[in-house]
């Protein structure tokens, strides 16, 4: 007699379950049993698809990094359209309004996960480093469009925006910041480099 629920996309279902746990209870509550219970499947399902729990977590982080790569292409394509402040505010909200803050906490919380991620990402905090690169590429494109000054140091502005965005969204138990708060931070950081 079969047990459990049929899983269509096992990896994505397990990743989504892990995200829900991270958002609700934080990294300390994230165990293989908690993930499979949340996903509605047997514990063995996770171990059938991943070598161990840290391999699962590393794949979760890498999957979420891939999502930032997709966001980066869309953000860069938006250069020259809308407003720079609006585009950056939306990008920060897209990055940090999801599970990114919880993922950063997870990477910080688990030494073995950090060690595995260092094998392919030797510098920076995974996810934050990619988000910073996304913002820097966008600012570079806006500089080419002439919407920010040629002397703008995008390699300083990008981590400043990511750090400020991370702090704005860091309280996962509270309500996310209002759009106006995000916009004020972005405006304060880039006001001196806008040409319009």
Q: What is the DSSP string of 171-190?
A: -TTSPPPPHHHHHHHHHHHH
Residue 50: which residues within 8 A CB-CB, separation 6 or more?
56, 59
Flag whether pLDDT at 5 surpasses 70: no
Do 112 and 182 fall within a single domain?
A: yes
Do 77 and 169 fall within a single domain?
A: yes
Q: What angle do CA 158, 163, 167 make, to 5 degrees?
A: 150
Flag whether pLDDT at 88 surpasses 90: yes
Give the tokens for residue 119. 């094998």
Do 45 and 68 fall within a single domain?
A: no
Do 147 and 112 fall within a single domain?
A: yes
Do 34 and 75 fall within a single domain?
A: no
Flag whether pLDDT at 2 surpasses 80: no
Position 100 scores a pLDDT of 83
Flag whether pLDDT at 184 surpasses 60: yes
The verdict on residue 58 lying in a domain is no
Position 8 scores a pLDDT of 58
Flag whether pLDDT at 190 surpasses 60: yes
Do 144 and 172 fall within a single domain?
A: yes
Do 109 and 147 fall within a single domain?
A: yes
The verdict on residue 40 lying in a domain is yes
Q: What angle do CA 131, 23, 59 make, to 5 degrees?
A: 55
Q: What angle do CA 42, 44, 50 make, to 5 degrees?
A: 125
User: How would you label 53-63 residue by residue, b for 16+ Cβ within 10 Å and e otherwise?
Assistant: bbbbbbbbbee
Of the pLDDT bands very low, low, confident and very high (cuts 50, 70, 90), residue 173 is: low
Position 172 scores a pLDDT of 56
The verdict on residue 128 lying in a domain is yes
> How many domains is the chain partitioned into structurally?
2
Of the pLDDT bands very low, low, confident and very high (cuts 50, 70, 90), residue 1 is: very low
Out of 55-69, 116-130, 179-193, the most confident range is 179-193
List the CATH number of the domain containing 114: 1.10.357.10
Q: What angle do CA 51, 118, 26 make, to 5 degrees?
A: 70
Flag whether pLDDT at 7 surpasses 60: no
List the CATH number of the domain containing 8: 1.10.10.60
Do 79 and 30 fall within a single domain?
A: no
pLDDT digit string, tens, across residues 144-168: 999 999 999 999 999 999 999 999 9
Q: What is the pLDDT averaged over residues 81-93? A: 97
Flag whether pLDDT at 131 surpasses 80: yes
Do 75 and 40 fall within a single domain?
A: no
> Which single residue is written with the structure tokens 């829900």?
20
Tell me if 128 sits within 8 A of 162, measured CB to CB.
yes
The verdict on residue 6 lying in a domain is yes
> Which single residue is written with the structure tokens 């405006």?
187
Do 146 and 76 fall within a single domain?
A: yes
Do 43 and 71 fall within a single domain?
A: no
Which residue range forms the structural domain that includes residue 122? 64-193
Q: What is the pLDDT averaged over residues 107-130? A: 87
């Amino acid at each position: 007699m079969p047990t459990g629920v049929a899983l269509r996309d096992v990896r994505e279902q397990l990743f989504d379950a892990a995200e829900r746990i991270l958002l609700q209870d934080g990294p300390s509550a994230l165990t293989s049993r908690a993930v499979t219970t949340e996903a509605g499947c047997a514990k063995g399902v996770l171990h059938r698809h991943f070598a161990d729990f840290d391999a699962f977590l590393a794949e979760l982080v890498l999957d979420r990094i891939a999502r930032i790569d997709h966001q980066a292409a869309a953000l860069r394509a938006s250069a020259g359209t809308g407003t720079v402040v609006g585009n950056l505010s939306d990008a920060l909200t897209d990055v940090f309004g999801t599970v990114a803050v919880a993922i950063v906490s997870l990477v910080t919380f688990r030494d073995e996960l950090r060690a595995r991620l260092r094998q392919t990402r030797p510098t920076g905090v995974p996810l934050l480093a990619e988000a910073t690169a996304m913002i820097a590429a966008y600012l570079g494109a806006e500089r080419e469009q002439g919407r920010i000054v040629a002397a703008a140091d995008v390699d300083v502005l990008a981590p400043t925006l990511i750090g400020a965005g991370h702090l704005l969204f860091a309280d996962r138990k509270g309500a996310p910041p209002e759009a106006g708060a995000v916009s004020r931070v972005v405006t304060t950081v880039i006001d001196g480099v806008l040409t319009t």
